[in-house]
Amino acid sequence: MTGAEMETQMFEGKDNTMTVDEALRTRRSVRGYTDQQVPEATMREIFEVAQTTPSNCNIQPWIPHVVSGAALERLGQRMVEAAKQGVPPDPDFFAARKFTGTYRDRQIDAAVQLYGAMGIDRNDRPRRDWAYRRNLEFFGAPHAVFIFMHSDFEAREAVDLGMYAQSLMLAMTARGIASCAQGALGLYCGITREELGLDDSHRLIFGISFGYEDTTYHANQARVGRATLGESVVFHD
C-alpha cells in the first residue's frame, strides 16, 4: 500500500472528523503528486460541501470547471508549449504592481524555501524556467479545477471566489487530498477557454491543482511561515 493510499484510508476511517482548525493548520501548497486519481464520488462530495460557501447576496458567482485525464494533459501541453515559444500570457486578471516592503520580504522568503528544497540556485535560469513550467503542468497532479466568474463581475465577486477556493481546499485536506492554488493557471486564459469550450463571458481568476501528495518529491519539503497575530491583526474595543 502506498503512502497516499494509507493516508486516504486513515482519513476515511476517521469519517472526515478533522476539525476546521486541524484542516487550516494542515493545509499547504503541494507541488508534487502521485498519479492516483481521486474517486469521482469523493470529488463530488468535496464540491458539494464547498457549494455552502457564503457570497454577497448569495449570488454564488463561482463557475468551477474540473479537468482530469486526457483533457488535463492536453491543456497542460498547450500552455507549456506557449510558454516555451515565448507567447505572451493573456490573463483576465493580473496584479501589475510589484510587491514592496514586508510583502516583498515574504515573497522572497517563499521563493528561497521552495527553490532551496528543489536545489535550484537563484542564478540557474534554465532550472528556474523548468520549475515555472511545472506550474503549467499542474505539478503532475491528476486533477485541476479552474475557477471562473461571469464577465459582468468585478472585485467584490472575486472575493467570493477566494472564499470558495478556501472551502474547496479545506474540504480536500479533511479527506487527505493535497492541493495548490495557482495564479499561473490563469495566465493563458485564451487557451484554457478554447480547450474547455467556453466563450469570453467566462473570466478566469486562477486554478487549483489537486490529488494525492508524492511525499518523496523534493519541492514538498519546502515550508513557509506566517506573520504573527500582532503583525497582522488589529483589535479595537
Cα–Cα distance between 129 and 132 in angstroms, integer? Answer: 5
Antiparallel, parallel or unpaired: β 143-150 and 178-182: unpaired
Q: What is the pLDDT of residue 96?
A: 59
What are the boundaries of each domain within the chain?
3-223
Q: What is the pLDDT of residue 16?
A: 60
Of 169, 202, 191, 188, the residue nearest 61 (C-alpha): 202
Residue 212: strand pairing partners: none
**What is the sign of the dihedral through the CA atoms of 149, 152, 155 and 156?**
negative
Q: Domain 3-223 adopts which CATH fold?
A: NADH Oxidase (3.40.109)
Cα–Cα distance between 180 and 182 in angstroms, integer? Answer: 6
Average pLDDT, consecutive stretches of 10 residues, N- to C-terminus, the chain (237 residues): 44 65 94 96 97 97 98 97 94 82 91 89 89 94 98 95 98 97 96 98 97 94 91 94
Q: What is the pLDDT of residue 94?
A: 76
DSSP states of 40-51: HHHHHHHHHHHT
Is residue 131 within 8 Å of residue 115, measured between CB atoms? Answer: yes
DSSP states of 175-193: TT-EEEEEGGGGS-HHHHH
Antiparallel, parallel or unpaired: β 63-68 and 178-182: unpaired
C-alpha of 30 from chain center: 9
Cα–Cα distance between 184 and 209 in angstroms, integer? Answer: 11
Cα separation values, 73 from 69, 124, 186, Å: 6, 27, 16
* Interval 149-208: pLDDT, tens: 999 999 999 999 999 999 999 999 999 999 999 999 999 999 999 999 999 999 999 999
Q: Encode 6-29: b = buried (16+ Cβ within 10 Å), e = exposed.
A: ebbeebeeeeeebeeeebeeebbb
Q: What is the pLDDT of residue 46?
A: 97
Phi and psi at 137, nearest 5°, equal: -100, 10
Q: What is the pLDDT of residue 13?
A: 43
